[in-house]
Amino acid sequence: MQEVQIHPQLLADCHDLGRLPACAVLLHRNAILPWFILVPDTAFNDVLDLPQEHRNAVITDCAAVSTFIKEVLGYDKVNFAGLGNVVPQMHLHVIGRSESDAAWPQPVWGALQDTATYTSQQLDDIRQGLGKMAGLTVGGSE
């Protein structure tokens, strides 16, 4: 699988955390809740169009992030979606949710009125945690 360039809008909205085997891993800049965005290495626009082996690798990466959200960050619910209506490049949302979050029970899109910022330490901790748990590799990211 060949790495692809990440759409500029995704880079503007997110921190670039690094890479898992089949995807780049981004983290939405709004730290109100853990909102990861995985960008698969493909020119396809929809995950269901991927060849089975590639699709399985992408889903494995998403499941690893979901496990991190639940086991390390302590969320009991994860939302998973692939929309791509605004940014055409395939990207998959893996979002930690709880009944106490700012958007519950609504979808996060357009429902988050509050914002928060990740500290450098928080970003480092997330990178290190994903590295240990899921094999995230970091190179040249913020």
- pLDDT tens for 107-125 read 888 778 788 999 999 999 9
- Give the residue numbers spanning the domain of 92: 8-133
Sorted by sequence, the CB contacts under 8 Å of residue 61 that are 6+ apart come out as: 20, 21, 22, 23, 25, 38, 40, 134
Q: Quick check: is 103 in a domain?
A: yes
Q: Quick check: is 29 in a domain?
A: yes
Q: pLDDT of 78-111, one tens digit each?
A: 999 998 788 989 999 999 999 998 889 988 887 7
Q: Quick check: is 24 in a domain?
A: yes
pTM confidence score: 0.92
Sorted by sequence, the CB contacts under 8 Å of residue 50 that are 6+ apart come out as: 40, 42, 44, 58
The structure tokens listed for 6 are 């990440």
The full length of the chain comes to 142
CA distances from 23 to 60, 74, 104, 106, 141 (A): 10, 23, 28, 27, 14
Q: Quick check: is 17 in a domain?
A: yes
Count the domains in the chain: 1
Q: Quick check: is 16 in a domain?
A: yes
Q: Quick check: is 138 in a domain?
A: no
- Whichever domain contains 80, its CATH number is 3.30.428.10
The structure tokens listed for 96 are 């930690």
